[in-house]
Amino acid sequence: MKLASVALFLTLVAFVYARELELAEPCDEDICKAPMCRCSSVDIPGGLAPRDTPQFVTLTFDDAITVSNVPTYRSLLYNRRNRNNCPIGATFFLAHEYTDYILVNELYNRGFEIALHSISHKADQEYWRDASYETLMLEIGDQKRQVAHFANIPINSIHGLRSPFLQMSGNTTYQMMSSAGLTYDLSWPTIEYTDPGLWPYTLHYQSIQDCIIPPCPTASLPGPWIIPMISWSDLQGVPCSMVDTCYYNPGPDNEEGWFNLILKNFERHYLKNRAPFGFYIHEWYVNINPGLHRALIRFLDMINNLNDVFMVNANEVIDWVKNPIPVDQYASRQCKSWTPTQCTQTACNAITANHTEKIYYLNVCTNCPNEYPWLNNPLGE
Ligand SMILES: [Zn+2]
């Protein structure tokens, strides 16, 4: 009896600590099953053959959405459809500073995905590497409320995270994501699992993914999904996780060179295991490379004419991986839907900030805040 109580006590202690952080174990595919769990693997979800698998393409843009970069987004993305006639998707990882929330509302209402990239976007790699749970809640958790508020978009339309400078903070990042109710992270590069590519997975069990920018998670962290950033190969075969970091590139005006580079990287996915193909870029890079800009339009025109390729919001990739269906079935589904929202356009001129001497001009879909919204005061109350 006494022994039993001691055993029970020890079990309880173990349980309490386990709730804190339990080291992840090797993945067991018999236990870890869709829709809630998936082992890190290059296997196609649902055991589908490559030819039956939709090739997803996720085009993403990072940082503030402003009057200077929105013309590029409009011209590249608006009125573009996939081959099955459904509107395309793209994902914006939004940084708060300088963002024009009227434009965020516009992009949301065009069916694009608004995701998180922090309030401060502080230019300090160590700040993000060492960030505590509390710091990440202020930077990311609060940003979710902030975007929903100022852009007047549904808070449950916000699912994704890209850590600034792709610098995660190990387990802490994913603990924060669970608390903040986020579905997926799109910050973790792989150079090892590019051919064939690593499919999205969860962190219930140990990840096989290479850790390019440590610290990477070590604990069992049920909840969030990882969409691996499958690196491209540049002209010399050097890996690059964002297109704008491809060092050996065709140069600013070489449309043909860029088109061939994009195509070569796309084919590594499309002709193999069809792991989602990421096109991760900043608008400024498209803007200073007219050859790339033209090549990108050509590439999008091409894939929008292929009946097994779909440009989607990153969140739609997770939906499919949770419930994989063959491409013919996927193509004939109803198109995605979203709740349209209004924007009462308000220009807030010359708002002072608490964290700096700067004066800001802020466009919102709500009343003007009292001060410039920032960490610890995400709604500027
Ligand atoms: Zn950024």
Query: Any idea of the CA torsion for 11, 12, 16, 18, to the nearest 10 degrees?
Result: 20
- Three-class SS of residue 375? coil
Please choose, from the candidates 367, 363, 313, 373, the residue with its C-alpha nearest in 3D space to the C-alpha of residue 108.
313
Burial of 318 from C-beta contacts in 10 A (0-12 / 13-18 / 19+): buried
Query: What's the pLDDT tens digit per position in 353-369?
Result: 988 989 999 999 999 99
Amino acid at residue number 325: I
For residue 153, pLDDT beyond 90: yes
pLDDT at 339: 95
Per-residue pLDDT of 59-101, as tens digits, reads 999 999 999 999 999 999 999 999 999 999 999 999 999 999 9
pTM here? 0.94
What's the CA-to-centroid distance between 164 and ligand 1, angstroms? Answer: 5
Task: Provide the pLDDT for residue 20.
Answer: 73
Dist. CA 116 → ligand 1 center (Å): 10
Q: What is the dihedral of CA 327, 333, 339, 345, to 10 degrees?
A: 60
Report residue 111: phi and psi, to 5°. Answer: 95, 5
Q: Which two tokens stand for residue 353?
A: 């900030």
User: Around Cβ 225, how many Cβ atoms within 10 Å?
Assistant: 25
C-alpha 291 – ligand 1 centre gap (Å): 23
Sorted by where each starts, the structural domains of the chain and their CATH numbers stand as 50-331 (3.20.20.370)
**CA–centroid distance, residue 162 to ligand 1 (Å):** 8
Distance 20 CA to ligand 1 centre (A): 30
Q: Please give the average per-residue pLDDT across 231-246, as a whole number.
A: 98
pLDDT for res 223? 97
